Structure 1
Amino acid sequence: MKNKEHINQQVEATFNTLDAIEEVKVNHFFKHKVLQQLKNQKEEKTSLFAWFTPQFQMATLAFVLLLNASAILYAFSSQKNTSNSSLESFAQEYSLQSETTSLLN
């Protein structure tokens, strides 16, 4: 029984201290200022690829396209000039030029 009375006294003392708490006066812009500071902290984070800006991306894309176009033009221009001579030299080297079909008979 004594234990129960002691617990009730402590509960009553706790409620009395809660009644003694007064309202805190805060500036009405406090919430706005805190939220603004949090937003500023979030914006300060830098990404890993911050150096890869859209301008740099466009320049890289243009360089790659120019490189591919020049490679394709070089490949097709050199193919026309050397295709006939390379076929003839290949046929001569492996003795594929013959007038008869003796190999088939």
Structure 2
Amino acid sequence: MKQNAEMNKKVKATFDSIESIQEVKVSPFFKENVMQKIRTASEDIQEVTWSWFTPKIQMATLVCVVVLNLIVFVDLQETTYDSNINSFAESYGLSTSTESSILN
């Protein structure tokens, strides 16, 4: 019973403290102000995201892509169909050897 009396005192003290809390006055436009700040912050983030991709960097990227394509195109022009077929056949052991062996 002693614990029950102490618990009742703690509960009564808690309820007394709740009754002493005063109502908080909030501006009626608080939500609108907060939402406006959030929208402004998200717009700033979107602007910063694409700001690194400036026209100079776009031009440099385009030049790199074109040069890479030209290098690959020239390399493909130099190789011939026969050399590709021969390398494929040699890779998979499908080619016939024209060398004469000692046993022949």
Normalising by structure 2, report the TM-score.
0.45
Normalising by structure 1, report the TM-score.
0.45
Greater gyration radius:
1
Relative CO higher for 1 or 2, CA cutoff 8 Å, sep ≥ 6? Answer: 2
